[in-house]
Structure 1
Amino acid sequence: MKYLPIIILTSLLSNFAIADESFNRGKEQSVTCSACHGADGNSNNKMYPRLAGQYKNYLIHSLKAYKSGSRQNAIMNGFAAGLSDQDIIDLSTYYSKQKGLNIIPKN
């Protein structure tokens, strides 16, 4: 029992390390995405959605839908087709941890 706190702490720290690896891989892979979605996922072009700060599970679901073809977009279907499941997780991790823009609507 005296080792339980050490075991729990080690487990938690290893989870952070794994998350950091996923984030870093996602950042590397995001270079392709940045052409449309912006360097940090905050696209200035209204044609392309902002990915920064989006829910990770939403991004995963969307990319898998583009990959399978159940969600249609000529550009995204092509890009998503080449992504592995791990790539999808990594990109989703990266973009979900980016700061989204706070836009105040004009009256």
Structure 2
Amino acid sequence: MRSLVVPVLMVLVSVTPASADSEAGKKMAKQKCQVCHGIDGIAKIPIAPHLAGESQIYLETQLKAFRSGKREHEMMTVVAKGLKDGEITSLSQWYSSIKITATMPE
């Protein structure tokens, strides 16, 4: 089976209006996440994943897994250990509220 790779010309990022929890998540993302993942959810370093537009449930699950030790990463385990459930929800709401648009080349 052959896989098809489609090049993307440009990715546009926009942020939808945020709820109060999402705004709290944005503030927290500026403090704890933006160096690696960017405030816009587009990773700033090669080993960090993009978070923009990921599902809130997925983001919450992964942060809780890092916090509990079920999932390990030298940086994320340390960052997530100090997060409370509400903070995880706020961060997840922020990054999931960012919308990604891909434009196909002509």
TM-score by length of 1: 0.74
Structure 2: gaps spanning 5 or more residues: 1-17
Which residue identity is paired with 1:20?
S
Which residue identity is paired with 1:67?
R
Whether 1:50 and 2:81 are equivalent positions in the alignment is: no
Higher gyration radius (CA): 1
Mapped partners of 2:103, 2:62: distance in 1: 23
Look up the match of 1:26: 25
Whether 1:86 and 2:96 are equivalent positions in the alignment is: no
Q: Aligned residues, how many?
A: 87
Offset of residue 99 of structure 1: 2.1
Q: Relative contact order, CA 8 A, sep 6+: which one is greater?
A: 2
| Greater strand fraction, Structure 1 or Structure 2 | 2
| Greater helix fraction, Structure 1 or Structure 2 | 1
Offset of residue 102 of structure 1: 2.7
Structure 1: gaps spanning 5 or more residues: 1-18
Detail structure 1 runs of 4+ shifted over 3 Å in the superposition.
none
CA contact (8 A) 1:42 1:50 kept: yes
Which residue identity is paired with 1:46?
P
CA contact (8 A) 2:26 2:39 kept: no
Q: Percent identity?
A: 37
CA RMSD of aligned residues (A): 1.9
Mapped partners of 1:20, 1:63: distance in 2: 20
TM-score by length of 2: 0.75
